[in-house]
Amino acid sequence: MRAFVWYAEDSFLHRLNPLTKLAACLLAAIVVSTAGEPVTPAIVILLALASTRGLGKVPVSMLCRTLAFGLLASLGVFWTYTVFYGGSGEPWLYGATMAARLLAILSSSAMFVLTTDPSQFVRSLIHQARVSPRIAYSLFAAYRFVPLLQVEFETIRAAHQMRGGVGGGGPFGQIREIVGYAIPLLASAVRKGERVALAMESRGFGALSAQQRTYFRVTTINQADLWFGVGCLLAAATLIALRRIQ
Amino acid sequence: MATTQGSLRTTGLDWQWRTRDFIVSAALAVPLGLVWSFAYGFVWLTARGIQPLLGDVFDGFYIVGGVLVGYVIRRPGAALLGELLAAAIEIPFTGFGAVVLWLGLVQGLGVEIVFLATRYRRFDLPIMLLAGAIGALVAVVGYSYPAEGWLGLAAGVQIVRLVLKLVGGAILAGLVGKLIGDALVQTGVLNNFPIGRGREI
Amino acid sequence: MSFSVPCGGSLLVLGPSGCGKSTLGLCLNGAIPHCIEGDLAGRVRIDGRDTRAGSMAEMAQRVGVVFQDPEAQFCMLTLEEEVAFGLENLAVPRAEMDRRIDEALAWVGLKDRRRDQIERLSGGQKQRLAVACVLAQRPRVLVFDEPTAQLDPEGVAEVVTLLEQLRTQARHTLVIVEHRLDDVMPLVDEVLVLDQTGEMVALGPPRQILHDRGEWLSSAGVWVPQVSELATSLAAAGLRLDPFPLTVAEAVIALRPHIEQLEVPPAQCPADALAARRDGEPFLRVSDLSFRYPNAARQTLTEVSVTHASGEFAAIVGGNGAGKSTLARHMVRILRPPPGRVHLQGADLTDLNAAQAARQIGYVFQYPEHQFVGRSVVDDVAFGLIRSGATESAAHQTALVMLEEFGLARLARAHPFSLSHGEQRRLSVAAMLALGQPGLILDEPTFGQDRRNVQLVLAKLAALARGGRAIVAITHDMRLVAEHADRAVAMSDGRIIFDGPPLDLFSDAAVLQQARLRPPPLAEVGQRLGLTRRWLRIGEVLEALRPAAHRVGRVAS
């Protein structure tokens, strides 16, 4: 059963408001996307990994596991972009820049994912981002559906295979098989969704506006968020300035 | 919302979002956002790792969430919501993290624009294909160029990749989305939604 | 329709499938008209106030509904968040929430699991949580819409206990829609009966309703308590039980005066019948099979040996987690057994490929929707045939014949998902049998079905067994085992603890307890009356009491 990738722990990063971390990811993405050399992204990678390990207390093994695919993808990016380079500079430098950029974006994203409780994320959307509870709570419901639908998917797959499978082998057969599973799974999802919606409304959901209803758990912005934000901005400014100097 | 006279079974446009529209959008987004990656993402992600161009066509799958939700709910914002939900749902389960939110946003906007252009009245095959393609296009403009550095690639390669992405979006999102939506309508589970309205139950 | 329920009273709503019981529940809690479109004429008043007035938030504080699907009532991830959700919707101040959450969870016995993830709960626990969520909003009226329909026997027991507690406290007014009446009858003051069109047909005390309408209800496909069914049949044979029994205890009291006149029916001893059929290689043989799921804390199966013969209807029973489904999956190759442990018609299962195995033994899943592959009913049945080489037209012909047999011919073009539960169940069995496999395993074939459908399906299976096929049913339904199975295999903790005729199973208290099984009401009545030979079928009781009926006529107690 697939569980959340999030690593539960009590650390500085864990206690930050999720939107602050999200903003940091966005900042990182902007900084590396405007950089034309691999050094800036490389530094961002280091910063992201170090802070996840240091400020977030995430074990190195978890970091590696999360970024494994990213590493693979960036290797692919490296050699593809090198080969297909169409500009006037060094092809391998371009490939390295792009690969590093991808890794930088993924590393900062990983920082977010590994240190953020999904429920807290949804709450920050409600309280800080002013997302309507009707949307946010459907996200909660979605997280609830995940293990259910996973089990259903496995059962449907077993059932279809028992009946002899729909596909016929090869990639197209596989695709037809997926579509074969998709319909019962999605139909089941819709049914469950309707029932959950009815149950939620029967308990008064949606009757009161977002301001009128109360909240069991809230997320806040506090000093730590401000410090973290300032720190990120400083780092970004430094990197951009260094680039100018180069 | 209380009604005691007559039936609310409208055949015209029904703009008001019900709770079930939100929840079912999320319910649809879960398998679409996750099952692909659980079951088969492994395969083509590895392929991407070796040769990213292969992935360009398959990237269309990521847009099917927005297309399907937009097709089923048929109201303003549905496609965008579907994409954002699919992205948000993916976050805690995959290693890609927060970047998917941006992708969801740009892809969703693309699909939404197409449905908006038809005033949410047309949902036939050409529009669906277009929706998938435009979703991919906006993603290319909003993500691939700025963040994936397409500008540095040879012009020919850029064109090839763009075409692959557009085709992937049109087929894997537009066409597949419509097929799935139609199949679901046949099952009868969507009778309470705009896509299923007007059918005899 | 018009009816009223006094404060603190409890009403049971009965009726055939599709008659509108759930819709009635939704009218009571205000979901109709606040959340659901339609035409509503007339008035629903809770505590004097019309449901149309005010908002759903207000209604939630007057009427709470517990729905039937334990998997589809919650939107949050932990128990306390879920209970809090209801409080948030009502704008309960944050300071008050903790106390109310504790209160509600304590009431249903889940207080120590407050911080746990909901997905870790069992079905019964989830339904208890649903009750807690509703109670936290402090309504005066509670509506239960088939709360036990999707639960295993343990879960059913948990929910029934809760209902009993609610009833004794009499602080809430209860409206219950339920099929499993054997347990629920004592809790009910009044019964409301609806017919197929949703019209009110009868309203009155349970005893009177079941006495007057028992036959009508049964023929309409509605389950009635087994002892009441018995009493109705006895009455038809001329022997009236007074008072008309609703529970096992009452039946025991009513029947005691007659048991002196009992004759033991000279039926053929089932064990002999079984031995006769077991000559030669059994259809399916499992030898010393052990299995453990990866990452499982304990062995799921330990040295399981069992055989199934052709022409036999066997039932595998046991509590949750006993290993029944795991065993069945090994029999049909969903899980691969080690070589030499499972033999199908003499051949080692591991030597067969999936297609060959599928031609010999079919598997009907618990939820029919999981196994449908066709876009239409007839396509689904024809699917297996086409896969094994038949032409499309030939396959369709055969499929249509199967559909006729199962009463589904008029639905041939419909999408399988649009069928009712009962029709889906029949379709799933038909589709699996289309290939003419000599063996069939069914996972909970009577789960969530109404009476009419259960009888149809079981009659069909019994006929197939008599015709020479090997039928194996994994089930929690003890009536199925009592009335139709030739043989019962009881499992507990991954081991087989009993293998023999159902009659012996229901007489063995130790086995029943270890396997966490409850005998059907009829058998329980027999046991309490001190009979050495348990009753399995109503027909047996009729036979046994026939002399008494002839002799006495009407009995005054």
- Condensed to tens digits (0 to 9), the pLDDT of residues B63-106 reads 999 999 999 999 999 999 999 999 988 888 776 777 888 989 99
Q: What's the token pair of residue C483?
A: 């009335």
CA nearest to C32 within chain A? A202
Chain B contact for A86 (CB, 8 A cutoff): yes
Give one DSSP letter per residue of C439-501, joined into a string.
EEEEESTTTT--HHHHHHHHHHHHHHHHTT-EEEEE-S-HHHHHHH-SEEEEEETTEEEEEE-
Q: Nearest CA to C284 among C354, C338, C357?
A: C357
C352 shares contact with chain A (CB less than 8 Å): no
Number of residues written out for chain B:
201
pLDDT (tens digit per residue) in A153-170? 888 888 887 777 655 556
What is the rounded distance in angstroms from the CA atom of residue A10 to the CA atom of residue A153? 34
State the Cα–Cα distance between residues B27 and B19, nearest whole angstrom.
Answer: 12
B20: nearest CB among A86, A183, A193: A193
**E-state strands within chain B:** none
> Is any Cβ of chain C less than 8 angstroms from the Cβ of A72?
no
Q: Which residue has the tokens 């009245």?
A: B121
Taking CB atoms and an 8 Å limit, are C60 and A206 in contact across chains? no
% chain C with pLDDT above 90: 26
Q: Which residues of C17-41 are buried (b: 16+ CB within 10 A; e: fewer)?
A: bebbbbbbbbbbbbbbbbbbbeebe
A115 to chain B, any CB pair closer than 8 A? The answer is: no
Residue ranges in C2-66 assigned as alpha helix (H):
21-29, 31-34, 56-60
Give me the mean pLDDT over the B119-124 stretch. Answer: 90
C40 touches chain B (CB under 8 A): yes
The tens digit of pLDDT for each residue in C78-136 reads: 999 999 999 999 999 999 999 999 999 999 999 999 999 998 999 999 999 999 999 99
| Three-state helix/strand/coil letters over C71-126 | CCCCCCCEHHHHHHHHHHHCCCCHHHHHHHHHHHHHHCCCHHHCCCEHHHCCHHHH
> What is the distance, to the nearest Å, from the Cα of residue B182 to the centroid of all Cα atoms in its chain?
15
Q: Are A162 and C371 in contact (CB under 8 A)?
A: yes
| Closest alpha carbon within chain C to A208 | C89
Q: Which helix (H) or strand (E) holds B133?
A: helix B125-139
Among chain C residues, the shortest Cα distance to B17 is held by: C35
Phi, psi for A65 (deg, rounded to 5): -60, -40
Report the gap between the CA of C436 and the closest CA in chain A (Å). 14
Residues of C in contact with B18 (CB under 8 A): 35
Judge whether A21 and A116 are in contact, CB under 8 Å.
yes
Nearest-CB residue to B51 (from A6, A76, A110): A76
Distance from CA of B51 to the nearest CA of C (A): 34
Give the best residue of A162, A191, A219 to mutate against chain C (max C CB count within 10 A): A162
Structure confidence at residue C342 (pLDDT): 85
User: What confidence score (pLDDT) does residue B71 get?
Assistant: 94
Q: C84 vs C6, which has greater pLDDT?
A: C84
Look up the ipTM and state it. 0.88
What pairing do the DSSP bridges indicate for beta strands C190-194 and C200-204?
A: antiparallel
What is residue B4's predicted lDDT score, i.e. its pLDDT?
35
Question: C465, C262, A71: which is closest to B46 by C-alpha?
Answer: A71
- Write out the two tokens for A85: 């380079």
C144–chain A Cβ distance below 8 A for any pair: no
Q: Sorting pLDDT into bands at 50, 70 and 90, what band is C146?
A: very high
Band of residue A92 on the pLDDT scale cut at 50, 70, 90: confident
Q: Is A208 within 8 Å of C91 when comparing Cβ atoms?
A: yes
User: How many CB pairs lie under 8 A apart between chains B and C?
Assistant: 36
The pLDDT, as a whole number, for residue B68 is 94
Nearest chain A alpha carbon to B81: A135
Q: Contact A75/B27, CB-based, under 8 Å?
A: no
Token pair in block for residue C540: 């047996």
The pLDDT, as a whole number, for residue A226 is: 93
Least CB–CB distance from B2: residue in C34, C416, C417 = C34
- For residue range C199-234, list pLDDT tens digits in order: 889 999 999 999 888 888 888 888 989 989 888 888
Give pLDDT, residue A195: 93
Token readout for C129 is: 């949580």
| Percent of chain B clearing pLDDT 90 (strictly above) | 41
Contact predicate B94/A5, CB 8 Å = yes
B23 contacts A150? CB cut-off 8 A: no
Nearest to B152 among A87, A149, A194 (CB): A87
- Best probe of the A interface among B1, B17, B22, by most A CBs < 10 A, is B22
Give the bridge partners for C78, in sequence order: C117
Nearest to A109 among B36, B96, B155 (CB): B96
Are B1 and C375 an interchain contact pair (Cβ–Cβ within 8 Å)? no
Q: Do C89 and A208 touch (CB under 8 A)?
A: yes
Greater model confidence, A214 or B96: A214
Contacts 24+ apart (CB under 8 A), C262-271: C262/C531, C262/C544, C262/C545, C262/C548, C263/C544, C263/C547, C264/C533, C264/C544, C265/C540, C265/C543, C265/C544, C270/C486, C270/C501, C270/C503, C271/C500, C271/C501
Q: Which residue from C35, C91, C384 is facing A213, i.e. has the nearest CB?
A: C91
- Report the share of chain B in percent with pLDDT over 70: 80
**Is C73 within 8 Å of A195 when comparing Cβ atoms?**
yes
How confident is the model over C370-399, as pLDDT tens digits?
Answer: 888 888 899 888 888 887 777 888 888 889
- Mutate which of A126, A137, A157, A163 to disrupt the C interface (most C C-beta within 10 Å)? A163
For residues A225 and A236, give the distance between their C-alpha atoms in angstroms, rounded to a whole number.
16
Residue B10 banded pLDDT, cuts 50, 70, 90: very low
- What pLDDT sits at residue C86? 94
Look at A66 and B25; give whichever has higher pLDDT. B25
Does A214 contact C at CB distance below 8 Å? yes
**Amino acid symbol at B49:** G
Q: Do C473 and C314 form a contact (C-beta atoms < 8 A)? A: yes
Interchain pair B23, C75: CB under 8 A: yes
Give the model's pLDDT for residue B9: 38
The sheet with strand C141-145 has its strands ordered as C63-66, C141-145, C173-177, C10-14, C190-194, C200-204
Cβ within 8 Å, pair C33-B4:
yes
**For chain A, counts of helices (H) and of strands (E):** 9, 0
| SS3 at position C199 | coil
Q: Is the pLDDT of residue B136 over 70?
A: yes
Nearest C-alpha neighbor of C186 from the set C213, C205, C211: C205
C176 pLDDT band (50/70/90 cuts)? very high
Mean pLDDT on A189-211: 91
Question: For residue C332, what are its two tokens?
Answer: 């049909």
Instruction: Judge whether residue A244 has pLDDT over 90.
Output: no
- Nearest-angstrom CA–CA distance, C489 and A149: 32
Nearest Cα of chain C lies from the Cα of A133 at a distance, in angstroms, of: 10
Q: What angle do CA C448, C451, C453 make, to 5 degrees?
A: 75
pLDDT at B152: 78
B2:C39 CB<8 A: no
Q: Does residue C272 have a pLDDT over 60?
A: no
- A119 and chain C in contact, CB less than 8 A: yes
Q: What is the pLDDT of residue B43?
A: 59
Residue of C405, C424, C429, C425 whose CA lies nearest to C414: C424
Spatial CB neighbours of C473, under 8 Å, sequence gap ≥ 6 = C313, C314, C315, C316, C441, C442, C445, C461, C480, C485
Residue-wise burial string across C349-367, b where 16 or more C-beta atoms lie within 10 A, e elsewhere? bbebeeeebbbbbbbbbbb
Within a 13 Å sphere around the CA of A32, how many CA atoms are in the beta-carbon half?
32
Instruction: Determine the average pLDDT of the residues in C298-318.
Output: 87
**Which C positions 330-349 lie with beta carbon below 8 A of chain A?**
332, 334
Q: Which pLDDT score is estimated for C63?
A: 92
Residue of higher predicted confidence among C268 and A55? A55
Instruction: Write out pLDDT tens, residues B138-160.
Output: 999 998 888 887 887 888 888 88
Q: Is A2 on the interface with C (CB under 8 A)?
A: no
Which residues of chain C are within 8 Å of residue A184 when distances are taken between CB atoms?
A: 369-370, 372, 417
A124 part of contact set with chain B, CB < 8 Å: no
Residue B11 is predicted with a pLDDT of 38
Using an 8 Å CB-CB cutoff, list chain A residues near B149. Answer: 81, 94, 97-98, 101
Nearest CB neighbour to C91, from listed A140, A164, A214 = A214
DSSP states along C124-141: HHHHHHHHHHHHHT--SE
- Cβ contact C37–B9 (<8 Å): yes
Cα–Cα distance for residue pair B44/B172, rounded to 1 Å: 14
pLDDT in the model for residue B13: 47
Pairing assessment for the beta strands C190-194 and C173-177 based on DSSP bridges: unpaired
Q: Is C96 exposed, middle or buried (0-12, 13-18, 19+ CB in 10 A)?
A: exposed
Q: How far apart are CA B82 and CA C247, in angstroms?
A: 52
pLDDT of residue C191: 93
Give buried/exposed letters for A178-216 (b at 16+ CB in 10 A, else e). Answer: bebbbbbbbbbbbbbbbbbbbbbbbbbbbbbeeeebbbb
Percentage, residues of chain A above pLDDT 70: 93
Phi-psi region of A132 (alpha: psi -120 to 50; beta: other; left: phi over 0): beta
Give the closest of B1, B7, B23 to C34, CB-based: B1
User: CA torsion, points C353, C358, C361, C366, in degrees to nearest 10?
Assistant: 120
Q: Select the residue of B3, B186, B189 nearest C37 (Cβ to Cβ).
A: B3
- In this predicted structure, what is the pLDDT of residue A74? 84
Residue to mutate among A135, A139, A203, A213, with most C CBs inside 10 A, is A203
Helix axes A18-33, A118-127, angle to 10 degrees: 90
Question: In this predicted structure, what is the pLDDT of residue B195?
Answer: 86
pLDDT in tens, C466-525: 888 899 999 998 988 988 999 999 998 888 999 999 888 888 889 888 888 888 888 888
Strands C63-66 and C190-194: unpaired
Q: What average pLDDT does this structure show over C166-181?
A: 89
Query: Does residue C174 register a pLDDT over 70?
Result: yes
Q: Round to the nearest angstrom and report the end-to-end CA distance of chain C.
A: 37
Q: How close, in Å, is residue A106 to chain B by CA atoms?
A: 6
Select the residue from B1, B17, B18, B19 to test the A interface by mutation, using most A Cβ atoms within 10 A: B19
Q: Answer whether residue A172 shows pLDDT above 70.
A: no
